[in-house]
Every structure is written in C-alpha cells, then in structure tokens.
C-alpha cells in the first residue's frame, strides 16, 4: 500500500518508477470507492489515473502548474495532492468539490467547470511566468471532446505562435460526453490508428510541435514522455490515447452512460438508485415537432441528453437529418440555428444555461440583429439549476432579456412550456428563447394562451398587493397569497409574467387603481434581473415595489430553497412581508 | 463600359468570360470613386473585386446564397447587384450601408458586422436548404484574418463532418486588420508558397476538401475554379490568394493603414482630412504602465490601434514581451489575461465594446469566478460609440455590471479614467473593467480618488432633486443642473457614480432626507441598465425615480445627441422635467 503515504507530489517522487503502476491501481481503487458510493464524473477520471500519477512523478507541482480543462478529470489529482481522505473515507466525501479549486489546494490553479478553457488559461500562466523571468513548466490537460470549443481552438492557434515552454496534453479517449462531432475527429482517429502519423496533423497545422503516445495507461511510457517534455523551450502537444472509464469494464464499454452519474454497484455497474423514468416535457415537445414538421430540426452541442435524446432514441432523428450534435461548439450551434431559420427551416437549439453563456454575441449579432425566428431552449437556469459555482446560471435573464428582437418566455408549468414551445416553433417573426427552469411541474391546468400577443397572466386578481413571480416560482407565490388571505383576510393578486423580455405595461398601469404594493420574485440574480424593470416602471408613481432576487455572488453548494429563503423568497417570508405592508 | 448595364447578376452572365476583366476594372473604379470621397473599408473591398465578378458570373444569386464574413468586403457585391449608383453618384452614397443587409437587397443574406460568423451562418443556410429538399449552392466568403475567431474554427470543424454542398472561400491576403497572429498563419504561408501544397493543411486536418488558386485577381482562373466547385456535393475550401488594397499601390504597400479610413486623394493616397493628432488617454496610461512595470502587459485582439499602439509604436513593446496581439480571438485574450493575473503579471486587455460581446463566458467563468485581478478596457461603448446596427454596443452595462467579483468603473473624464486605470493595474484583489466612452474629455479637474473604496462622487450637493449621470454624460447633467437653477432657483444634486457594478447605498439612503426625485441618465439601453438598480433601491420609499436610457432596439445610423434626446436625455429635456417636478 503506497497511497497511504502519499500526501503530496513529493511523496510520489520517493517511489521507484516501477512502483507507479501499483500506486495507480490504488488510486483507481480510491476513486472507485467514492464514485460508486457518491457518484460523480466516472469515465473521465478513470481514464487519467496513470497519466496523473506520472505527471506528479515528473513535474514539480505547484511550482510547475497543471491546468485541468473542465476539471471533471481532477479526482486522481486530488487523491495525490493531499485530499485522499475525501475519496477513502465516506465521512470526508464532501470536504472537497468535484472541480479544481485554489481555495482547496495550492496544486489547483483555477476554479473551472466549463470546457475548452485550459489552453488559454495555461497560456496566461505561461506569459505571467515569462514576465517574471521564471522558468516553471506550464501544462494544460485537455480532452479530445473539449478541443472543438472555440476558446480552445483560438488558444491552440495562438499557442502555435507562442515561443516558450507550454505542454499541452491532449487526453484522447475518442469520446466527448456523447460521441465526438466535427471533422477534426477524423484526423485524430487517423493519428491514433497510425501511431501519431497522418497526412494532415491538426496540431502541426496550428504551428505546434507534436508527440504521440498510444498507451496512455503505461506509467513507464508516460514517465518517459513527460521527462522528455519537461523544461521544453517551446509549446508541444503530447497526444495521449487513453480509455475512458478504464478499469470498469461496463464503463469502458458504454462511455456515454458512464461519463457521469450516481452511485452504482461495483460488481456489475447497476445503479444504487435506479432511474424511475418520468416524462420529459422538453423531449415530448421536440419529438412532436420533429415528427410533424419535416422542415424542423433540433440542434444540440454535446449534451443530447439535456433534450432527452439519449442513445437509442436520437439515431432515428439523426438519420432523418432532423437532429444534429455539433460537439462542444455552442457558438456555431446558435449561428447555425439562425441560418437554418433564414432558409426555411424550423430550428431549435437547446443546451444547459451555463453553456449558453458562450453565445452572447451569436444570440445578439448573428440571430437577433437579423430577427431570425429560431427557438432556443435555455435548460436549467436559476437557483434550481446546477448548484456548483462552476456551473451556476443565475444570470440568464441578465444575459438575454435585454437583447432587441428576442422574445424571452418563462413558463411556470409544463403545460405553459408546451404551449410556448408550439408558439415559438410555428411563428416566423422573431427569435424566441424559453427559460426551462428545472422545477417546472404539471399544473393540471391546460394552457391555450396565444403567445403572439405578449401579456402577463393574472393568475388571481385581488387588491392592495400583487406578487409577480418569474417562471417556476409561481406555485410559491400562490401559496404565499393563500397565507396572506389567512393572515389578513385580503385576497391579493398573483401574476405569472409569461415573458421576461419586457413588461405588460397596460396591466401594470391598471394595478395602480387598487394596489399599493408589488412584490417581484425571481430565482436568479436581483441586479439586472426582471424585477428591476417593474421598479423602474413604477418609479414616478405612488406604488411601492419590493424586488427579490439572489445577491450578486458565485453562490455554491446551496440548496435552492435555502438560497431563495435567505433572499426573502419563501412562502412564509413573502406572506409576512405583504401582511405587514397591508 | 459594361458596368452601366449591370443591374443584377443576370446582366453579368450576358458577358463573355473575356469581358469580365474589364467589368472588374470598372467595378474597381466605381469603388475607388466612393471610398476616395466618402471613406470606408478600402483594402478588403479592393482585394475582392475580381472574385466578386467571377462569383456572380458563375453562381445564381439569390438562389445560390453568398455569406460575406464581416461583410466589410461587400462593396463590389453591392455594385454588381443593383446598387451601383451608391458608388457612382455622390448624391446616393448614403442610400446603402457599409455591410450586407437583406432589407437592401435580396442578394444579401444577413446583416453582419462582426467577424468569423460566415461559415456557421452558411452551414445554417445549407441545413435549411437540405430540410426543404432544395439544391442551391451555399457559399461562405471569409478572410484569412477572420479564421482565428472561435466561431469560425468551430464552424470549420463542423463543416468537416457535414456532407452536402458548401463552398467556403478563404480570401487569403495575408493580413488581418493589422498583421495576422496565430500558428495557423505559418501553415497558410506554406500553402501560398507551395501552390496549395504543405505537409499539414489546416483545412484538410478539419476534414475538409481543399483547392488552391494563387492568382485571385485572374477572372479566367476564378471562373474556372468556381465552375468546378459549383453544385459540388460536399463541403470544400477554395483557398484563394489575393492582394489587399489591389489596384492602389499605396494601399497594397501599407495594408494596415489602408484597411479602412476616410476620404483620400487618389493620386497619392494622401488624406483629404489629415489626422490632427491629439492625446490618447488610453495609450498614455498603457505606456506609463508598461514603461514602469516590467511585469505588465497589454493584450489586444486584432485591434492594436484601438489602444493607440499603431505601427511604429508597438514594435518596441512587442520586443519587450509587453504587448501581444492574439489575432481575432477575444475569448482567448480574456482568458489569457486572467491566467497572467494569476501568475504574477499585470494584464490589461482592451478592445471595442461590440467585440467584448464574444467574451461573456470568459469574463464570468474564466476570470471573475477566479477573481483574477486583470484589467479590461471596454472601448467605445454606448451611444457615442459606433452607430451602425452591426457595431452598436448599447448593452455593455447589461452584459458586465451584474457579474460577481467584477468592478465595472465608468469614468466621466480623462482624469478619472487615468486614476481608475492606475487603480485597476496596481491592485491585486479583483478583476476591473473600465468603460471607455468615446466622448470622455478633459475636465480640467485632477482626480485623486481612492477607487479601492467604491463610492459615488457627489459633483454638486443640492436639494430636492438629483441627477445620476453615467460616465460621459456628466457634463450634460451639470449643464442641466445649471439650467434648473436658472429656471427654479434650486440647486440640485449631481452625482457621478464612478462605478456601475453596484450602488453606493449609503449615499442613496442619505438623499432621502432632502430629495424627492432622482433622475438617472445613461448612454446605453434602459432595460437591464444602471438606472433600474436605483429605481429598485428606492422601491419601498417615497423617492420618485425617473430612469432614462435608450429603448430596446438595434438602433442604426443615428447621431448620438439625437438618439439620446429622443429618449429624454438632453440638457433642455432634463431641465424641464426636473423643473416641472419641483
């Protein structure tokens, strides 16, 4: 047992090269211990165990600096840099995050959770080193899937001009989250099949030096490769072939399903908590559209499962030319959707809200400036979305609501989503984005709203006070109104705005007659959010406006209900606030 | 004279191939007529004259669809598609815009002004065609400089997987706006030098078919090439070597200076309105920093002149390793700046506000999540910035002010800018962006503010009403206050907020004592802007708040003063509004 003595990279260096295989096996065991009990990113971490052991054997972290792209493959690195207890001891599983974090360890360079950033960030570290006249090694570790992202490609290109030490490790397991997409993957395949030789080498074409290693699980060869690259005086790509999910046969077999997931039984990979199924309103709507409109197409960017198009389902639509995955390339997906809409197609692009952040310019300039009637599904925005600071998306309204020509709809129920989706994909006037909050549920109330007329919906008409609740918070507002009724006897008004890209000024004007307080609630950041529009509208009137949203911070590891309650957004807090004002 | 009979591409097809040279010469003459009298993008348009003639000879626009990247090379296309009067007759010069625009002609596919979008947009048109079962040719025309942008690279990669007709013309004049940067340009050079043959072909490495033409000004060869590519059943790159500025010797000679500019004398290229010089506060500050701090570095993304680092000046700083141009690759520039800041460097990245739109995710995730103390100069935002809808930037506050950890400063004068810049580049706590409105001027008042304490500045303390004026609008606010004094005898308060990433709540609270009206003015969009924060702050109080900003639209071809006045932002309108309220 070597691992028990490994508390930092210095301890690894005390081992013989021949002992590294055993250390790798022990590291993998620690990794499997945790992921089988607590879930996490399985495949990416299993695939880099040997590479990480070799990296820390050869390089001198933290003097030498390793940037992990996406950083969802950093678990072995954490195990080997003083954080092994968080993998071995269930009581300590939650001491660490699933991503690199400088607040956790001096061996972590950045907090990262989005793909395709490592080469740029490493170039920055390298340039910082140069300005200070130092000589440490700077290493970026990037997976093949992340290479297709614009930021990574821009950085590879610039690295081809840069002229000092920079080691770019391309961890090629022939897989993105789903399968890879893009022409460069044909080239990577040729390189893997021919021991790193192929007519048109994408990395050399970017001006980079290049070296290939076929067995990325052989610690001897990895150590030799890294020793050769160490202290190199120019940028080099080390293209290393690995097996995603290495060490668990079922994970090696089914790489997409084993990219990430929950606890499982190690012996056969069966889940501890089997998936219960359940309807997916996004998938149902897309399926209805694609099955009934042969000019319609769904686009995704490496997250087909986000749209419910899992393996076994999407193939039929791919064959029909109605479902495309552009790989990790959201900018391209948004612009393509705009182009499709301009040439007679009905295009829907959907991905998770944090990754839409990469498309601001494409949404504004490529699509909205041209008023191209494409549909965008912003999946899982707000407090009920992902709760790691690497993946929060509390600012989707800030990003998109102000863009001219864009209609940004915020359904409050699955029924509203369905009706909005049908509207968006049947009209040819404007780009439409739909905010798919993850806490949407069936309301039991059919929705036949004509969304070509943008109006707020008065869920309940009362007097004195009104709550305007964005999207998934409508049920909370209705409950709060019930409670106000109990407490004060007053029926207050509850409004579902339906759209957040503007105000229903007529309705707001009419409320002045018999209301003195408007309370807005939203599941995103307060600053620059929806509520402030309402406050500004009433700025010259006697109406009091209380805006509630989340404070400006990279909140993390929160429970959505608790985070909202801390910001005055809970049934009891709202009821008390309104009762007091009445 | 053929041109007089050319009113659409159909007229070009009536000519013999041998007559196209003459048509090209006449087209270039028309082009020179306008650009010498009215200015515009000189080099890019002069370089594509023959190519455009040949394109319209071979392809059938608008059935076949041509997407012009950036579209600042679309003048010959406009001349040949029914808009020649706008080049021949000074009275009609302003009938058209400088970019493609479907509202102007059915031969224009998109309104475009940002680079690197054409391949994505063309892929969209192609996919729309496929869904409709049609067969037209889809052509993207992209310059070598634009290839380095992430969106273009993502699209080239996806095009390498796509399997139907798509013709990507790479117009390679070996020049971006300034010189090219990035490793791929070494490969393009090899291809140019070896008749399209080189070991590692960047396009083939992306999975694309490829063809090279060395003389991009030979109409015979261009026609032959396009005829061969027409109706091709898969994507192909036609790599065509052209000369930027072709036809004007001084423009061919000095490609950077002749990328774009004002009117000139055709005989020698001398400017009609010689540049008067004048101090550039951004350049002066950067120079001071770089000369006094050897760990400091300025980054730009293909617009070094935006920072005042013109040819002849920047070379010294490039040599010192203190000035880098990453090419058209803003995502990489922002992330690199963050990386430099994390490794002991003082990094400043500056570019024009519209191009910062491409960096939302890098600003938020790569830099601000990591609280990396880099400095960002947002050049020319707001109503006084560029006034074409392709380049407006009325939403910089919307994009950046809400991002956690980012301090967004808004100087009201050159002196404030200087002090803010010194603060930003000497602190190591947070990322700082500075809003460099183009109407900043010397105020004559030295600024010794300590910007590590974020407070609004009370320019003038009065009573009853206060104007909070963002950035460059402070002089207008002061004048309006003078006028209110004249009209009512009341001294009102005028506030320069200094920062727009939050509120000075203490000050705002104190105003409640003796103020009943706050008027906010900003030179950007109202929705999601600065003023609404103020309105929300006072939502529960008796304070009246009037927020003034620009309406949500892609405004274009406006005069800033007029656009602002239309939205109640002028000395007289503000004075009247406040006087009335008092």
Give every CB contact of residue B229 below 8 A, 6+ residues apart in sequence: B167, B211, B236, B238
Q: Which helix (H) or strand (E) holds A23?
A: helix A20-38
- The helices-and-strands tally (H runs, E runs) of chain A is 24, 16
The count of other CB atoms within 10 Å of the CB of residue B445 is 10
SS3 at position B280: coil
Q: Do B206 and A187 touch (CB under 8 A)?
A: yes
* B207 close to B139: Cβ distance less than 8 angstroms: no
Q: Give yes or no for A186 touching B (CB within 8 A).
A: yes
Give every CB contact of residue A249 below 8 A, 6+ residues apart in sequence: none
Q: Give yes or no for A294 touching B (CB within 8 A).
A: yes
Residues of A within 8 A of B404 (CB-CB) are 552-554
**Number of CB pairs < 8 Å for A and B?**
434
Residues of A within 8 A of B533 (CB-CB) are 527-528, 532
Would you state the pLDDT for residue A275? Answer: 74
Would you state the pLDDT for residue A187? Answer: 96
B139 CA to chain A: closest CA distance, Å? Answer: 13
Residues of B within 8 A of A331 (CB-CB) are 120, 150-151, 154
Q: CATH top-level class for B281-436?
A: alpha beta
Residue B46 dihedral angles phi and psi, to the nearest 5°: -60, -30
Residues 261-280 of B with CB under 8 A from A: none
Give the side-chain half-sphere CA count within 13 A for A523. Answer: 32
Would you state the pLDDT for residue B479? Answer: 98
How far is CA B501 from its chain centroid? 23
Q: What is the mean pLDDT of residues A202-220?
A: 98
* B437 close to B409: Cβ distance less than 8 angstroms: no
SS3 at position A64: coil
Interface test with B, best of A140, A147, A156, A157 (most B CBs within 10 A): A157
Residues of B within 8 A of A158 (CB-CB) are 148, 181-183, 326-327, 329, 332, 336
Residues of B within 8 A of A404 (CB-CB) are 552-554
Residue B272 dihedral angles phi and psi, to the nearest 5°: -70, -40
How many whole angstroms separate alpha carbon A410 and alpha carbon B564? 31
Q: Give yes or no for B60 touching A (CB within 8 A).
A: no
Where are the extended beta strands (E) located within B148-234?
A: 166-172, 209-213
The token pair at A107 is 């061996």
Give yes or no for residue A277 having a pLDDT over 80: no
The count of other CB atoms within 10 Å of the CB of residue B556 is 17
Q: What is the mean pLDDT of residues A226-246?
A: 98
Q: Give yes or no for A155 touching B (CB within 8 A).
A: yes
Would you state the pLDDT for residue A103? Answer: 97
> So what's the ipTM on this one?
0.97
Q: Do A552 and B125 touch (CB under 8 A)?
A: no
Q: What is the mean pLDDT of residues A275-303?
A: 92
Where are the extended beta strands (E) located within A355-506?
A: 375-379, 407-409, 432-436, 457-460, 464-469, 493-496
Q: Give yes or no for A178 touching B (CB within 8 A).
A: no
Please, which residues bridge with residue A167 across strands?
Answer: A139, A236
* B213 close to B240: Cβ distance less than 8 angstroms: yes
By Cβ distance, the residue of A357, A358, A533 closest to B532 is A533
The token pair at A185 is 């993957």
Would you state the pLDDT for residue B275? Answer: 74
Residues of A within 8 A of B340 (CB-CB) are 124-125, 127-128, 131
How many whole angstroms separate alpha carbon B201 and alpha carbon B570? 57
Instruction: Report helix angle A150-159 to A118-131, nearest 10.
Output: 40
- Helical segments of B167-267, H only: 184-193, 202-205, 219-229, 249-253
* B137 close to B146: Cβ distance less than 8 angstroms: no
Would you state the pLDDT for residue A203? Answer: 98
How far is CA B415 from its chain centroid? 26
Which residue in this structure is represented by tokens 């922002």? Answer: B334
Length of chain A: 582
Q: Give yes or no for A62 touching B (CB within 8 A).
A: no
Which residue in this structure is represented by tokens 């081809």? Answer: A160
Pick among 3.40.50.620, 3.20.20.140, 2.40.50.140, 3.40.50.920: CATH of B457-581 = 3.40.50.920
How many whole angstroms separate alpha carbon B97 and alpha carbon B30? 16
A221 CA to chain B: closest CA distance, Å? Answer: 27
Q: Which helix (H) or strand (E) holds B15?
A: none
Give exposure, B243-261, as e/b (b: 16+ Cβ within 10 Å).
bbbbbbeebbeebbbbbbb
How far is CA B372 from its chain centroid? 25
Task: Please determine whether the domains at B3-253 and B457-581 fall in the same fold group of CATH.
Answer: yes
**Domain covering A288-436, topology:** Rossmann fold (3.40.50)
Would you state the pLDDT for residue A164? Answer: 98
Over the Cα atoms of chain A, what is R_g? 26
Give the 3-state DSSP-derived string for B245-301, with helices as H, strands as E and coil as C: CCCCHHHHHCCCCCCCECCECCCCCCECCCCCCCCCHHHHHHHHHHHHCCCEEEEEC
Would you state the pLDDT for residue B145? Answer: 97
How many whole angstroms separate alpha carbon B221 and alpha carbon B223? 5
Which residue in this structure is represented by tokens 């990469």? Answer: A358
Question: Domain locations in chain B?
Answer: 3-253, 281-436, 457-581
Q: Give yes or no for A132 touching B (CB within 8 A).
A: yes
Residue A123 dihedral angles phi and psi, to the nearest 5°: -60, -40
Give yes or no for residue A461 having a pLDDT over 70: yes
Strands B457-460 and B493-496: antiparallel
Give every CB contact of residue B513 below 8 A, 6+ residues apart in sequence: none
Residues 111-130 of A with CB under 8 A from B: 111-114, 117, 120-130
By Cβ distance, the residue of A339, A365, A539 closest to B357 is A365
* A569 close to A543: Cβ distance less than 8 angstroms: no
What's the DSSP call for residue B31? H
How many whole angstroms separate alpha carbon B46 and alpha carbon B171? 12
Confidence of residue A278 (pLDDT cuts 50, 70, 90): low
The string of pLDDT tens digits covering residues A125-171 is 999 999 999 999 999 999 999 999 999 999 999 999 999 999 999 99
Would you state the pLDDT for residue B299? Answer: 98
**Domain covering B3-253, topology:** Rossmann fold (3.40.50)
Residues of A within 8 A of B176 (CB-CB) are none
How many whole angstroms separate alpha carbon B319 and alpha carbon A21? 46
Residues 382-401 of A with CB under 8 A from B: 389-390, 395, 398-399, 401
Give the pLDDT means over successive 10-residue stretches in chain B (582 positions).
96 98 98 97 97 98 98 98 98 97 98 98 98 98 98 98 98 93 96 96 98 98 98 98 97 94 96 79 97 98 94 95 97 98 98 98 98 98 96 97 98 98 98 96 96 98 98 96 98 98 98 98 98 98 98 97 98 98 94
């Amino acid at each position: 047992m070597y691992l028990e003595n490994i508390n930092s990279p210095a301890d690894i260096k005390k081992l013989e090269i021949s002992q590294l295989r055993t250390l790798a096996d022990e590291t993998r065991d620690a990794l499997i211990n945790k992921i089988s009990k607590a879930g996490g990113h399985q495949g990416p971490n299993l695939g880099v165990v040997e590479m990480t052991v070799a990296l820390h054997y050869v390089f001198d972290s933290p003097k030498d600096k390793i940037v992990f792209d996406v950083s969802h493959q950093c678990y072995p690195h954490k195990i080997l840099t003083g954080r092994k207890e968080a993998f071995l001891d269930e009581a300590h599983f939650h001491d660490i995050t699933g991503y690199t974090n400088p607040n956790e360890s001096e061996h972590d360079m950045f907090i990262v959770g989005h793909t395709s950033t490592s080469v740029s960030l490493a170039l920055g570290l390298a340039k910082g080193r140069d300005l200070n006249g130092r000589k440490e090694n700077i290493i970026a570790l990037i997976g093949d899937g992340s290479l297709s992202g614009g930021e990574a490609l821009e950085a590879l290109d610039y690295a081809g001009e840069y002229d000092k030490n920079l080691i770019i490790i391309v961890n090629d397991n022939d897989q993105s989250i789903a399968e890879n997409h893009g022409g460069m993957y044909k080239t990577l395949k040729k390189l893997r099949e021919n021991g790193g030789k192929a007519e048109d080498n994408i990395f050399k074409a970017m001006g980079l030096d290049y070296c290939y290693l076929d067995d990325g699980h052989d610690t001897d060869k990895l150590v030799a490769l890294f020793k050769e690259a160490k202290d190199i005086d120019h940028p080099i790509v080390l293209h290393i072939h690995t097996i995603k999910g290495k060490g668990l046969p079922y994970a090696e077999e089914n790489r997409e399903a084993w990219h990430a997931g929950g606890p499982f039984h190690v012996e056969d990979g069966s889940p501890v908590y089997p998936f219960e199924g359940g309807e997916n309103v996004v998938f149902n709507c897309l399926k209805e559209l694609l099955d009934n409109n042969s000019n319609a197409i769904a686009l995704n960017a490496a997250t087909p499962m986000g749209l419910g198009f899992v393996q076994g389902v999407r193939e039929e639509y791919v064959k029909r030319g109605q479902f495309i995955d552009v790989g990790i390339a959201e900018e391209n997906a948004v612009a393509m959707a705009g182009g499709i809409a301009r040439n007679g197609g009905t295009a829907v692009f959907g991905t998770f809200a944090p990754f839409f952040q990469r498309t601001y310019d494409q949404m504004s300039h490529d699509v909205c400036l041209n008023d191209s009637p494409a549909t965008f599904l912003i999946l899982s925005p707000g407090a009920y979305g992902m709760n790691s600071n690497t993946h929060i998306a509390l600012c989707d309204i800030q990003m998109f609501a102000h863009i001219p020509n864009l209609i940004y709809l915020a359904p409050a129920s699955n029924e509203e989503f369905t009706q909005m989706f049908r509207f968006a994909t049947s009209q040819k006037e404007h780009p439409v984005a739909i905010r798919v909050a993850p806490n949407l549920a069936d309301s039991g109330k059919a929705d036949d709203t004509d969304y070509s007329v943008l109006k707020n919906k008065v869920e309940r008409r009362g007097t004195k006070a009104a709550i305007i609740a964005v999207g998934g918070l409508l049920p909370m507002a209705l409950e709060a109104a019930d409670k106000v009724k109990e407490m004060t006897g007053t029926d207050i008004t509850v409004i579902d705005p339906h759209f957040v890209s503007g105000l229903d000024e007529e309705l707001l004007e009419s409320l002045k007659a018999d209301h003195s307080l408007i309370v807005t609630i939203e599941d995103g950041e307060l600053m620059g959010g929806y509520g402030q529009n309402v406050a500004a509208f009433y700025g010259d009137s006697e109406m009091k406006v209380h805006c509630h949203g989340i404070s400006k911070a990279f909140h993390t590891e929160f429970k959505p209900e608790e985070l909202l309650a801390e910001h005055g957004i809970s049934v009891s807090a709202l009821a008390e606030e309104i009762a007091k004002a009445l």
